[in-house]
A and B are shown apart, each in its own frame.
Chain A
Amino acid sequence: MPRRRLSGIALASPALLWWAGLLVLPVGLVLAYSFFERGVYGGVVYEWTLDNYRRAWDTLYLSVLGFSVRVALETTAISLVIGFPVALFIATRPPRWRTALLVLCILPFWTSLLIRTYAWIVILNDEGLANRALRSLGLVDSSVRLLYNELAIVVGMVSTYLPLMILPIYAALERLGPELGEAAADLGATAWKRLWTILVPLTAPGIAAGCIFVFVPSLGNFIIPDLLGGGRRQMVGTLVQSQFLEARDWPFGATLAVSLIAMLLALVLVQAWLGNRALGEREGPARAL
């Protein structure tokens, strides 16, 4: 075996062993419940069945999935549109300032998501700041329903997951150093084109990572649809959790989880296989180290 591969395996093994024991085994066992039956009062009865998978193929669950995917895509798209320029801004500041600015973006996230979400409720409700501002600016006559709907969910999601978009893009941009400074300095008509053709491909791994970091958790989040959505629309995260907790139907919960994981896995693998998306094309000559 070439030395490179051997050293690669050696470096990767602590993490992979950790995952073998703490991830694959426990999670695998739980997911395996999907092939068994629910006990009358909860729990798992070890009778092999594919019924759970038959049950999962249902327009109800598909529509919940569809709604979740839509919201997650909206969130990801908006986070990308905002996150990329923000990361670019930070990466083009003098080095002293970069970490400070980055941390400034992260700080809000060290306060509780739950509390911040409740703050959004205060801001978005009929008598809240947003409506009062809209009314006093004369943009609307009476309060607009900004809460307990899809709009509120997306606003909450973006404000929650934005740093997960900013950080990886920043990490990728930061490495570009001087070329970046030039590109930023020339930001005019042709420079935008330059941005597009040069900068984006170079930071593609960061962008891809950011998109996945935002898309996946948005899909699985249950707090924001519950609070900001008023519980009026279920998302996939709530659905899976409710099978394990409310329905005490671990086999069916496992089935939905398997389906969700399979879908996302396909997404992630496709992205990895398309080469220069996920973790980047290995530029430069291969080096034996």
Chain B
Amino acid sequence: MRSRLGELSLGTLFAATLAFLYLPIAVLVGLSFNESGLPTAWGGFSTRWYGELARDEEVRDAALSTLLVALGATALSVLLGTPLAFGLDRLRSRTLDGLVFVPMIIPDIVYAIAFLSAFNLVFTQALGRQLGLWSVVLAHATFGVAFVAIVVSTRLAHFDHSTVEASLDLGASELRTFLHVTLPQIAPGVVAGALIVFTLSVDEFVIAFFTAGIEVTLPIKIYSMVRFGVTPVVNALAAIVLGVSIVLVLAALRLRGREAHP
């Protein structure tokens, strides 16, 4: 018997959670249209801050840099983390399973200093290469791998190996089996892990500040902008980032639209 109450309460909770998560967003979007400079007084509707933002080259550059870094770090993390999850699954070592969490438990500042010292020694002093966005990608990927590996492992934990066996028994090659039997089953884990790494990278400040050389990512730029309080320009920026994200995601969903979900 279908319980309406159960369905309804789950749905209500979801809606309430979304409201909670989007409350600060609504506030900052609202403030981005505030003519007055401060969040306490409403000076009337205005788009002047968006205009100012459009003229700000530094912000545009920083946003692009951040996107590149996040994509790079996510790709690397998936490429390294997915095989790691499989490796762990086969090695069946509980200690190793626990050690995979280590990259997550190291404080940001320790990473920041460790990476900068190491990169400085190896790349700048020995090889003469200046740090930049690429070094941030390396840094972010280092802890990103752990997130992907862990999340994919949760999918592998109850993975039904009999499907793989069946496929092989039926004569499919290992590669085909991997692509058509294994991968679809772990795909949500990979996607979830990738989303986590992307999200973390996009907003990461401390490590980026230390490893970016003189490049500027968006979090770095925003940190220096809010020194004077959150002007509506900053809110306009957040609103635009949100808008662009929505557009990109809608586009991506369109592309996947017809895909059947396993």
List B residues 204-241 near A (Cβ within 8 Å). Answer: 205-206, 218-219, 222-223, 226, 230, 234-235, 237-239, 241
B252–chain A nearest beta-carbon distance, Å: 9
List A contacts of B3 (CB < 8 A).
Answer: 185-188, 191
A287 adjacent to chain B (CB < 8 Å): yes
Q: Which residues from B are CB-within-8-Å of A11?
A: 83-84, 86-87, 90
Closest residue on chain B to residue A100 by CB atoms: B253
Q: Secondary structure of the B side of the interface?
A: helix
- Segment of B17-25, B50-58, B125-133 engaged in the interface with chain A: B17-25
Nearest-neighbour CB distance to chain A for B75, whole angstroms, equals 14
Q: Which of A179-237 contact B (CB under 8 A)?
A: 184-188, 191, 202, 205-206, 209, 212-213, 216-217, 220, 237
Chain B residues with CB below 8 A from A85, complex form? 10, 13-14
Given contacts A9-B91, A114-B219, A269-B95, contact A216 B104 (CB under 8 A): yes
Query: Which of chain A's residues 139-193 have a Cβ closer than 8 Å to chain B?
Result: 159, 162-164, 167-168, 170-172, 174-175, 184-188, 191
| Residues in B whose Cβ lies below 8 Å from that of A278 | 97-98, 101
Complex CA gap A275/B94 in Å reads 7
Q: What is the CB-to-nearest-CB distance from A39 to chain B, in angstroms, rounded to a whole number? A: 15
Does A129 contact B226, Cβ atoms closer than 8 Å?
no
Contact A279 B88 (CB under 8 A): yes
Chain B residues near A19 (CB-CB < 8 A): 103, 142, 145
**A9 contact from B87, B92, B206, Cβ within 8 A:** B87
Q: Is A105 an interface residue (CB 8 A)?
A: yes
Tell whether B64 is near chain A: CB-to-CB under 8 Å. no
A45-53, A55-63, A69-77, A240-248: which lies at the B interface? Answer: A240-248
Q: Find out whether the CB atom of B101 lies under 8 angstroms from the CB atom of A268.
A: yes
Which of chain A's residues 255-288 have a Cβ closer than 8 Å to chain B? 257, 260-261, 264-265, 268-269, 271-273, 275, 278-287
**Contacts A22-B138, A122-B31 given: A212-B104 contact, CB under 8 Å?**
yes
Task: Give the A-B pair count, Cβ closer than 8 A.
Answer: 339
B91, B101, B108, B193, most chain A CB atoms within 10 A: B101
Q: Are A168 and B192 in contact (CB under 8 A)?
A: yes
Complex A-B, nearest 10 residue pairs according to Cβ-Cβ distance, in ascending order: A187-B6, A280-B157, A12-B87, A272-B98, A8-B90, A95-B261, A11-B87, A119-B24, A287-B161, A26-B114
- A interface list, Cβ under 8 A from B: 4-5, 7-16, 18-19, 22-23, 25-27, 29-31, 82, 85-86, 88-90, 92, 95-96, 98-120, 122-123, 127, 129, 159, 162-164, 167-168, 170-172, 174-175, 184-188, 191, 202, 205-206, 209, 212-213, 216-217, 220, 237, 240-241, 244-245, 250, 253-254, 257, 260-261, 264-265, 268-269, 271-273, 275, 278-287, 289
